[in-house]
Amino acid sequence: MDEKRSVRNLTRDYFDSLMIETRVIDSGEASTEMKLFGETFSTPVMVAPLSGLGGICPNPMQEVAKGAAAAGAEAIVVSNHGGSIVDSAVPPLKVLPRIVKVIEGKIPIFVDGGITKGTDVFKALALGANGVLAGRMVMSGLASEGGEGVRKVITDTNEDLRRTMRLTGSPDIHKIDPEIVWY
Ligand SMILES: Cc1cc2nc3c(=O)[nH]c(=O)nc-3n(C[C@H](O)[C@H](O)[C@H](O)COP(=O)(O)O)c2cc1C
């Protein structure tokens, strides 16, 4: 198996192994608003640094930035390439709790690598992340509709996150009980 694929499978399997405890059925709206760097964002889902997108659509970098800005996510963070460099790289969520412990809330923590849906975002937030970065997740939208497609992917993922929050009785992204995620 090629190394990138095995790391991606490891990461995917770890995300999928974490279970979410459903606590509330039919509860009210949940808020995904967050304050970061002095600004208020409507979603904790942001776009990872991306390159080599030529061929997917015209002006891909501008389109990604445009779609991310329109979706409310305005931050780009340099990351570890989503585990595609080293074989057997640790899935981000496995190491996250240790990092949260060390950082003690002093600076925002982002999870990068393997995010494909709202429940992945939920698990990352529940385990202490302030937000997540998505790379491959936005590719399908970028390829089909450029910036508008990126906006749709992020907005849909945010809605999926809100739905999970409603079902777990999590009123906002700062009040997600870590015990909701089972190992
Ligand atoms: C097409 C593509 C280009 C990327 N280019 C860069 C880059 O230039 N610099 C960088 O630090 N990471 C780059 N990455 C890695 C992403 O920033 C990010 O770490 C990774 O995509 C996150 O994992 P995910 O795709 O599973 O969400 C790239 C990823 C993709 C898919």
User: 124: which 2 tokens?
Assistant: 């990352």
SS3 category, 59? coil
Q: Tell me: the pLDDT tens digits for 5-53? A: 788 888 889 999 999 998 877 777 889 998 887 888 888 887 676 666 7
Give the total residue count for the chain: 183
Burial of 26 (0-12, 13-18, 19+ CB in 10 A): exposed
Catalytic residue among 81, 94, 117, 166: 81
Place of tokens 């964002």: 41
81 catalytically annotated: yes
Whether the Cβ atoms of residue 20 and residue 119 lie closer than 8 Å to each other: yes
**Helix 92-103 / helix 118-126 crossing angle, nearest 10 deg:** 30
Q: What is the pLDDT of residue 75?
A: 45
Q: Is 120 in the pocket of ligand 1 (CB under 6 A)?
A: no
CA of 180 to the centre of ligand 1 (A): 29
- DSSP element (H, E) containing 46: strand 45-47
Q: Tell me: the pLDDT tens digits for 63-85? A: 776 776 677 644 444 455 666 66
CA distance 163 to 169: 10
Q: Is 116 in the pocket of ligand 1 (CB under 6 A)?
A: no
Torsion angle defined by CA atoms of residues 159, 162, 164 and 170, in that order, rounded to the nearest 10 degrees: 180
CATH code assigned at 59: 3.20.20.70
- What lies within 8 Å, CB to CB, of 94 at 6+ separation is 14
What is the mean predicted confidence (pLDDT) over 134-158?
Answer: 95
Q: Is 142 in the pocket of ligand 1 (CB under 6 A)?
A: no
Q: What is the pLDDT of residue 76?
A: 45
Q: Tell me: the pLDDT tens digits for 92-121? A: 888 888 777 776 776 678 888 899 999 999
CA distance 166 to 183: 21
CA distance 153 to 39: 22
Total domain count for the chain?
1
Q: Which residue has the higher pLDDT, 28 or 143?
A: 143
Q: Is 49 in the pocket of ligand 1 (CB under 6 A)?
A: yes
Q: Where in the sequence is the domain holding 159, given as residue range(s)?
A: 3-182
pTM: 0.79
